[in-house]
Amino acid sequence: MYHLKNYRSVLLLFLALACIGAGAQTRDGTFQKTLDIFSAAGAAIPAPPQVNARAAILIDASTGTVLYEKNADLALPPASLAKLVLLHIAQNEIAAGRLSPDEIVEIDARDCSPSIPYGSSLMYLRPGMKVSIRDLMLGAAVVSGNDAAYALARRMAGSNDAFAALMNEAMLDMGLDRCTFVEPSGLSEKNLVTARQFARFCSEYIRQHPEALDSLHSVKSIRFPRPEHAVPGYVPAGDIVQYNRNPLIFSYEGADGLKTGYIIEVGFNIAATAMRNGSRFLVVLLGGTGPSYAGGNAIRTRDTKALLDWAFGNFVTVYTEHLQPKPVRVWGGKITRVQAVPRGQLAATVPIALRDAVTARTVMVKSLKAPVQEGQPIGKVVYEVAGKEIASVDLYAQTTIPRGGFFRRLIDGILRFFAYILGQA
């Protein structure tokens, strides 16, 4: 049960939650302090597992809280994780009406083997095939087809180079200035991301395209090519089934995405997410190694499962969507009140042992003077345990409110004077 209580702004637990990681890998050495604080509050958190990857991060996908990190700001090639950005743009194009899942694309020879390097992941497109956008998206998401990525990019932008510009624009729009791309498949080692920023992208991807987890990323297999994809010189022989490259969706409870990746220049990558009982955690691993391809794949899977097990075993997401911040009075505006809204979900990540001790309350500005801009910070929801702030969610003005006319400003000026006298402005 959540309730309002007197404001006490103590940031220790909040800062600790934001930088949890392995003790030796946390820059300011606060991991042990975090353990001590939680232990004192009755929640002893065991150390997280160590991972093989060069860079790693574990976050709560709903709140963005970082629970573990290792070299999370090291720029590395994403390999086929780049296809998530491709699919993000494709879904935005569909939502805008500029693309349809049912549209049929004729496959260009430049998007097929042998134009794509030997050993690449393919959905086995052939020149002249007529393939739906839906099939191409599944080919990119499920079997990581580089040919599918090229065909989609060519349809949306005309070329891989032009589409890479769209990818970079999309990243900058999200404030992800260290995620840069030169082509859409992930084959190039010149594509670069950091684990921290790519995890933020994946979290936003899930928020914007929640249906994609079911329709794309947790699909276990696809049938392709099918008989209708026959072209001169090639007729599909029988029922060809290709399986999802992400082993977690077959073996890990709650796993429903997102993507694996591998190129020799970086090694084994994964962006993985799972949800149980309302808590969704997300792992990004970059630069994993192994004694062989199969060995590296197994180590990547093991480490991802270990981090998710640790997250589900020790943390939970607490939602407070029932909290409805009161509208804020706007003086001198065309509208007298503005609603406060969060950019994401009203939620906090807390240790399981402290779940029942969490309280939440809103802290708002008393009033605003017009003009008010949409997205202007006007308050926050504060989450506390025993009076200590462990997290907060910022609240923003829902709409822009311009200044009102002369008489509105005059009347509000008088009302504001008396409200000030009464301590209400």
The string of DSSP letters for 14-63 reads HHHHHT---GGGSTTS-HHHHHHHHHHTT-PPPPPPP-SSSEEEEEETTT
Regions of the chain short of the pLDDT cut 70: 1-43, 424-425
Q: What is the pLDDT of residue 38?
A: 57
Q: Determine the Cα–Cα distance for residues 401 and 190; give it in Å rounded to an integer.
A: 45
The residues that bridge with 137 in the sheet, in sequence order, are none
3-state DSSP of 133-194: HHHHHHHHHCCCCHHHHHHHHHHHHCCHHHHHHHHHHHHHHCCCCCCECCCCCCCCCCCEEE
pLDDT of residue 379: 96
CB 134 within 8 A of CB 112: no
**pLDDT given at position 23:** 30
What residue segments make up the domains of the chain, in order of their start? Answer: 75-314, 328-421
- The sign of the CA dihedral 100, 138, 79, 147 is negative
Rounded Cα distance between 337 and 367, Å, is 9
391/387 Cα distance (integer angstroms): 12
pTM across the whole model:
0.86
pLDDT tens by residue, 281-329: 999 999 999 999 999 999 999 999 999 999 999 999 999 988 888 899 9
Q: What is the CATH number of domain 328-421?
A: 2.60.410.10
Q: Does domain 75-314 have CATH number 3.40.50.300?
A: no
